[in-house]
Amino acid sequence: MSRRWELIAFTAFCAAAAAGLALGAVYWQGGQTQLEGLLLATAFAAIGFALVAWANKLLHQGTFAESRHALANSERERIAAEAAFDRDQVLERRTLLWRGLALAAGALGLAALFPLRSLGPKPGAALNHTPWRDGLRVVTEDGTPVRADDVPTDGLLTVFPEGHVDAADGQAVLMRVPVELLEPAPGRETWSPDGLIVYSKVCTHAGCPVGLYQAELHQLLCPCHQSAFDVLHGAEPVFGPAASPLPQLPIRIGSDGVLRATGDFPTPVGPGFWTR
Ligand code: FES
């Protein structure tokens, strides 16, 4: 009976190992979510079944008590105990089951290493730059260049770098504010000609598009978690969970009246977790 359960538990461990290896193979071939889930569940279920069988069918059951006066074993008892340890079936059973467990755990562990491949290549310095470059024209979503006259006071326009209207990190918001209210940071006095000012549209909290403008307060609002940014003071966050200002894009008005960037954003756009 116990030999039978021993083989059943070992078979379950082997099934878990096979499922683990199959999981690794499926992942390596490109992956299939449902199949991977099924194989993972099979592996864990087989290991669980084997351990339960091991505990319930192969280990001694019941309550055992030893009389207090029997503090020392007799010679006969010692010999009997040695004989019990030497019995092939005891040692063999443990060896077989431990090997089965190691096989199953090894195969699953191997499969668990494969997803490391999904981490992908390091982004390097790519997150520090956007398509904005000196001289690039500021355009709308349909590629139309934005002229300074196109933006009314307290108006807001979503703009992109020319040729990169699909670049998520290049999207920005352009506003015109009364020049006399602006308080540019030192070194940024020329970045907002005629009160035209551009900030990244990617929220520095969790990356949502900051597309709402409360003109009377001169605040940009993020609809996701209600962060508010002060447009007159470098888009510093004044409310909500965002902790960093929206990066400002330096711009100028070209001789043709079209707005052009004079460089990239000075800091990475979006949530800046990699800088902390
Ligand atoms: S993503 Fe903007 S406040 Fe959270």
Residue 30 domain boundaries: 2-63+73-119
- What sign results for the dihedral spanned by CA atoms 68, 69, 71, 72? negative
pLDDT band at 57 (very low <50, low <70, confident <90, very high): confident
CB of 172 shorter than 6 A to ligand 1: no
Q: How many CA atoms lie within 13 A of 137 on its CB side?
A: 16
Task: Round the average pLDDT of the chain to a whole number and report it.
Answer: 88
Q: Name which residue sits closest to atom 1 of ligand 1, judged by CA.
A: 206
For residue 235, the CA-to-ligand 1 centroid distance in Å is: 14
Question: What is the H or E stretch that residue 43 is in?
Answer: helix 33-53
pLDDT band at 176 (very low <50, low <70, confident <90, very high): very high
The answer to whether residue 107 is domain-embedded is yes
212 within 8 A of 220, measured Cβ to Cβ = yes
19 with 145, same domain: the answer is: no
Q: What is the DSSP string of 179-196?
A: GGG--PPTT-TTSSGGGE
The answer to whether residue 68 is domain-embedded is no
pTM, rounded to two decimals: 0.64
Q: Residue 4 has what pLDDT?
A: 85
pLDDT tens for each residue of 203-239: 999 999 998 999 999 999 999 999 999 999 999 999 9
The answer to whether residue 56 is domain-embedded is yes
CB of 212 shorter than 6 A to ligand 1: no
For residue 129, the CA-to-ligand 1 centroid distance in Å is: 21
For residue 58, the CA-to-ligand 1 centroid distance in Å is: 57
197 within 8 A of 233, measured Cβ to Cβ = no
Task: Calculate mean pLDDT across residues 148-160.
Answer: 91
144 with 260, same domain: the answer is: yes
Q: Which residues pair with 253 in a beta bridge?
A: 259
CB of 206 shorter than 6 A to ligand 1: yes
Say how far apart CA 264 and CA 247 lie, in whole Å: 10
pLDDT tens for each residue of 89-142: 555 567 888 888 899 999 888 888 877 777 777 777 778 899 999 999 999 999
Question: What is the H or E stretch that residue 254 is in?
Answer: none
Q: Residue 92 has what pLDDT?
A: 58
pLDDT band at 274 (very low <50, low <70, confident <90, very high): low
99 with 198, same domain: the answer is: no
94 with 166, same domain: the answer is: no
170 with 110, same domain: the answer is: no
106 with 137, same domain: the answer is: no
Residue 271 is given by DSSP the state: -
Structural domains of the chain, count: 2
